[in-house]
Structure 1
């Protein structure tokens, strides 16, 4: 299958290029970006000097003639315009931005401060949380690839919420991300002197991923209360850690929780549950499509603690997008994604 990547010069787009170069069934046909059109890929990114591609302008009809699937690795507000046109041209679309994730267009306007996609497109888009939406993804035409924070958080909460261990009240998510999550565009907030030897909270009570997480939790069980969700910027390039606190309906044991998580994810290739009393670090998933999870119960506070880690550019973006593309085309979902994490 031939692939076009729109927004190919950003970090998620570059990660898609890296993954698809080694994919046995997908071939990169075109790399599209208005900001760098006409330049050779290697002029901008010397690590890709072996790839004979130029960045091109976005011409939708040309894409439709040449390709089977389009990855939209664009900033918010762009996919909402492109996705409807690509669908009309008969293309399958995987959108890595947040434009198609929220079914309620008023929520999108409130949290993203941009014009939403048409209602028909939002209705058609399938939320691509690969481990828990597999059957719907396989039948989809357009996929809304989940955000990085929601992926780590929802994979961490799914076994508890889906199996009725918790009622969805008083959920606290304390999340941290590496700087690449902010994208490649220069800004004061992510400059070296601002980030180095610093650790800061941002978008307090207003992060755009909050309604995305709540939407999926509500689909799993009705009556979910608003979550407490805090995000922090860590002076590292890649990685997300979501530390989640939730009260169970009834007291449980760490052993019981471990058995629940192990059984929930035993047939899901990219989620690895830690041994009892062990918790993951971001380094152990660096450069991979894995989500590693540790879980434990605090008898003194009657609270469950879940620690979920991913690489924000892989499982949180490009890796999950390729996983969804595999499902979309009836391939093994592991195709092109079984690389070992980078270490150290």
Structure 2
């Protein structure tokens, strides 16, 4: 049986990535694509790399007939999904790729995103979409909130270690490099090629990055007490990819064994041999996350490095993985594509 899909916000990078993945899925049909400024345009005009696909033209959300739709992917900007999703038919299954339903407490949302939650009743039914750790809840959910791409990468590196108390929970430093597509497709001066290329720079330093809300929420729930990591993201002059380096206090071999055991049966989470570290170039365009562990010259210290593609495993691939569960489709369907290299 084929499920009919609508992608709201299809003119953004995550929307286009969803189209790319669903195109070879086999169990999904794209029935509607929406955009605001690009409404009325063919998808091939907005994204020429998709011109070989037979896709509906972009239209406004209010023009979509949802009566024949089974699943909606909401790839809209932050702070817009709450109102849009609140107006959708109640029988629709929804995967939201924005930040609007990630934080369970509406007060936390207001703290990190600077405005009151617009749909607190919907928040109560939203399930956090980190697939490998919330499978059972996702299967029965109507609304799933996709994680932040930075938040997902850091959690894959650290969750099993926190749950197993394999590291010092009060001494976690997370240094993260992320590609420019994570900032979206909107025109911004600081993201112009001449402004960004040939250099790296930190941003949202000093504990101000919004994904810290997810780290606080998830790590503290795992530990049963507050866990506050030190986290600094850096923007790198690359189109895709996230590389997260976590510096922890703990035995490096125990850290490696803990991660290896936790992810032994996970098709998308691959722990490398001890001492081997991952690269973003080896996961590009895939739904894979590579994780490596290295010791340190200082006894009792270890480094955990996780690499994934922010548009795939960090966002649209994760969304499709969740949708498969919600629609009772094998979880890996449409997602076993190999990375693109070089």
For 1:64-79, what aligned pairs fall within 5 Å after superposition? Answer: 64-79=66-81
2:52 to 50, 53, 73: 50
- 8 Å contact kept, 1:168–1:223: no
- 8 Å contact kept, 2:271–2:291: yes
- 8 Å contact kept, 2:219–2:227: no
> Which residue number in structure 1 is paired with residue 317 of structure 2?
319
2:43 is equivalent to residue 34 of structure 1: no
- 8 Å contact kept, 1:167–1:224: no
> Which residue number in structure 2 is paired with residue 227 of structure 1?
229
- 8 Å contact kept, 1:42–1:49: yes
More divergent stretch after superposition (229-238 vs 296-305): 296-305
Shift, 1:120, TM fit: 1.7
Shift, 1:167, TM fit: 4.9
**What is the DSSP-based 3-state SS (H/G/I as helix, E as strand, rest coil) of the residue aligned with 1:258?**
helix
**What is the DSSP-based 3-state SS (H/G/I as helix, E as strand, rest coil) of the residue aligned with 1:94?**
strand
Shift, 1:298, TM fit: 2.9
**TM-score of the pair, normalised by structure 2:** 0.95
**What is the DSSP-based 3-state SS (H/G/I as helix, E as strand, rest coil) of the residue aligned with 1:93?**
strand
- What does the per-residue CA deviation read over 1:101-146, in whole Å, with 9 as the maximum and x for residues that have no partner? 0112122122112331322211100001011111111111100011
- What does the per-residue CA deviation read over 1:71-93, in whole Å, with 9 as the maximum and x for residues that have no partner? 0101001111112222x431111
More divergent stretch after superposition (73-82 vs 109-118): 109-118
> Which residue number in structure 2 is paired with residue 105 of structure 1?
106
- 8 Å contact kept, 1:34–1:57: yes
Shift, 1:58, TM fit: 0.5
> Which residue number in structure 1 is paired with residue 278 of structure 2?
280
> Which residue number in structure 1 is paired with residue 179 of structure 2?
178
Looking at structure 1, the residues matched to 168 and 134 of structure 2 have their Cα atoms a distance apart, in angstroms, of: 21
2:251 is equivalent to residue 243 of structure 1: no
Looking at structure 2, the residues matched to 128 and 215 of structure 1 have their Cα atoms a distance apart, in angstroms, of: 13
Shift, 1:219, TM fit: 1.7
> Which residue number in structure 2 is paired with residue 117 of structure 1?
118
Shift, 1:9, TM fit: 0.2
Q: Flag as ranges the 4+ runs of structure 1 deviating above 4 A.
A: none
> Which residue number in structure 1 is paired with residue 266 of structure 2?
268
- 8 Å contact kept, 1:130–1:137: yes
1:24 to 23, 26, 47: 26
Shift, 1:253, TM fit: 4.4
